[in-house]
Every structure is written in C-alpha cells, then in structure tokens.
Amino acid sequence: MANILDINLNLLKALDALLNEQNVSKAADRVGITQSAMSITLGQLREIYNDDLLVRGQQGRMQLTSFARLLIQPVKEALSHAEAVFIAHVPFDASRAERTFHIAMSDYIAFVLLPRLMQQIIHTAPNIKIVQHSINHIDNMVPFEEFELDVAIGDFQSAPKNLITTKLFTDRGVIVADKKHPAFKNGKLTLTEFLKHPQVFVALESHPEQSCVAELLKKLGHQVKINLMTPHTLIALQALPGTLLMTNTVERLARPFIQSLQLEMQPTPYKLPRYQANLYWHARNQNDPGHQWLRQLIKMISRTI
C-alpha cells in the first residue's frame, strides 16, 4: 500500500471525476486538464491500487471494475472532507467566484423563482453557473449524495429528515379554466359546478396516474372526471383555452397567464392547505461559504415573489 505522504492529493479529485464520468476525456474536462494528463493520472491510480479501475466493455465503452465501484462513495466522502478543511474559513467572493451549483425544482418553482435568481447572479456573480434539475418528488438522499445536488426547492412531504430545510414562501390554490367556461358564469365557482366538468391534474412523473388533489377529493367522497394527467404545471394551463377543462393550480403560476391565454381564476371550492415552498440541502454543505451565499440569495429572492 502506498504511503499517504507520497501521494499527490490532487489525485483524489481526478479519481472522483473518473469514477463518475467513466470516461477519460470527460473526466479531464471536469477537472480542467488535458486528456493526455488524465490518462497519465489514470496510470498512476492504477499503480497505487494495483487495479485497472476502468476497462473496456461492450461497444468499446469504459466500465468501472468491481473494485472501482467500491471506491465511489468513500472517494466522494473523502473529497467532501478535504474541501471542508480548506474552504471552511475562506471568504466567498461572488463577483470573482467560478462555480457551478445544481438546483432541483419543479417547472412551477422555476417559473416564479429562476428568472429573478438569474438576474441577480448575472449582475453580482457573472461567473457562477446554475444547472436546473427538474424534480417533483424527493424521498431519499441519492440526489444529494450521488448526483451532487446542492439544493432542492419545493414542498417534498417525503423528504428525508436528515436534510436541512427552511421555509421560503407560500402560495394559494386556485381553479383555472377558459374565460367563457360555464362554471364561472355566476361569478363564483361552486363545488357542484366544479365536479360537473373534466379536470386536468398535475402528477409526479414517478406516479403518472396519481394526484394529491385528486386523492384529497376522493377521500372527501367526490367523484372527479380526469381527462388529463401531466407532470408539467405549465402544460396544465396551456391545455385549458377553448375547452371545458379545469385545473387546480397555484395563484403565482396562473396569474401571468390569465390575460394572454384568456383564462379565469377562482378560489378552490374546497379547503386546501396553502402550498409551502421550502429549501432543502445536505448537512455537509451547511458551512460552505459559497453554498451559504447561494442559500441567502434564494431566500432573499423568495421574499420578493
């Protein structure tokens, strides 16, 4: 076994890139070195471990050896600890920082928050890059521990308890339909009128035939006719003009489209909890100055929504 004093710790970052990318050129791009330099690094790592780490598989694609797969999580944890040692007391200068943040959110959250976030970033942190991940559900730590997710924004009832969370903003549930919809002719939508007409419900991509609102109505003993289930809140609105379809959505999402799509919005004719948008992150990022800057920026923007 190699002596730790003889090992260049820069190899740790390269090893993490190789394990994640399973491709020498992509790993090189990830850490900012040439492909030939990464090939030399891979040779050094193979000598240290006495294992090939990456081998050619079907159709010439590189694959991890069994030993390399065992390294994925320990290497990720070691890299996280090493970064914590060196960045814990280093101030974060957003105006000069070059960093990529991965943010998970639904299309609804992206619509109401992401444009304002990017306006701030372009003006104050021009070298910061944001990668948005579309997500409507979180029930485990995998997105944070394996896919390097920095934060998630939404109302994730099944989110793991060991994620750190803080509240951002709330929104009111509303019913939206075509402006000439007969259910709105008396100026106030009743539950009876609502149940007469076909509905559009937003569902999780992982459970395309389930909707929390539809399930709530069913528990209340109401039969709802569902003509469209979609994971996309914007599609739910765009499907309404010229039809008898109605959808249960949130006010901040619907309001900008009321005039352009010739729609009407009414309060829900049944009790519905307000939507609560929260910010979620992994405990390992709690004291990261750059991560703290991002969280504060998101919280500041949320107060203006």
* 76 lies in some domain: yes
- The pLDDT value recorded for residue 203 is 80
Write out pLDDT tens, residues 79-116.
Answer: 777 766 666 556 789 999 989 999 999 889 999 999 99
* 94 lies in some domain: no
* 77 lies in some domain: yes
Share of the chain above pLDDT 70, in %: 92
Residue type present at position 240: L
Residues 261 and 177 placed together within one structural domain of the fold? yes
For residue 130, the domain's CATH number is 3.40.190.10
The better pLDDT of the pair 148, 25 is held by 25
Q: Give, rounded to a whole angstrom, the gap between the first and last alpha carbons of the chain.
A: 56
Write out pLDDT tens, residues 45-67.
Answer: 999 889 999 998 777 788 899 99
Q: Give the number of other CB atoms < 10 A from CB of residue 98.
A: 9
The better pLDDT of the pair 139, 291 is held by 291
Residues 213 and 249 placed together within one structural domain of the fold? yes
For residue 46, the domain's CATH number is 1.10.10.10
- The pLDDT value recorded for residue 1 is 47
pLDDT class of 6 with cuts at 50, 70, 90: low
Round to whole Å and give the CA distance between 89 and 85: 8
- The pLDDT value recorded for residue 261 is 96
The better pLDDT of the pair 90, 253 is held by 253
Q: How many domains does the chain have?
A: 3
Stretch 249-273: mean pLDDT, rounded?
93
Q: Give the number of other CB atoms < 10 A from CB of residue 102.
A: 17
- The pLDDT value recorded for residue 260 is 95
* 232 lies in some domain: yes
User: Taking all residues of the chain, what is their mean pLDDT, rounded to a whole number?
Assistant: 87
The better pLDDT of the pair 151, 211 is held by 151
Residues 194 and 128 placed together within one structural domain of the fold? no
Q: What does the block give as tokens for 112?
A: 């109401």
Residues 80 and 109 placed together within one structural domain of the fold? no
> 126-164: buried (b, 16+ CB within 10 Å) or exposed (e) per residue?
eebebebeebbebeeeebbeeeebbbbbbbbeebeeebe
pTM over 0.95, yes/no: no
Residues 179 and 244 placed together within one structural domain of the fold? yes
Residue type present at position 269: P
| Whether the predicted pLDDT of 209 surpasses 60 | no
Stretch 117-136: mean pLDDT, rounded?
93
Stretch 196-203: mean pLDDT, rounded?
90
Q: Which residues constitute the domain of residue 83?
A: 4-87
pLDDT class of 77 with cuts at 50, 70, 90: confident
- The pLDDT value recorded for residue 246 is 95
Residues 251 and 288 placed together within one structural domain of the fold? no
What are phi and psi for residue 204, nearest 5 degrees? -70, 145
Domain end among 87, 107, 137: 87
Q: Measuring CA to CA, which residue among 303, 285, 305, 301 is closest to residue 120? A: 301
Residues 146 and 288 placed together within one structural domain of the fold? yes
The segment with the largest mean pLDDT, out of 12-16, 114-118, 288-292, is 114-118
Round to whole Å and give the CA distance between 212 and 191: 18
| Whether the predicted pLDDT of 218 surpasses 90 | no
Domain end among 87, 116, 131: 87
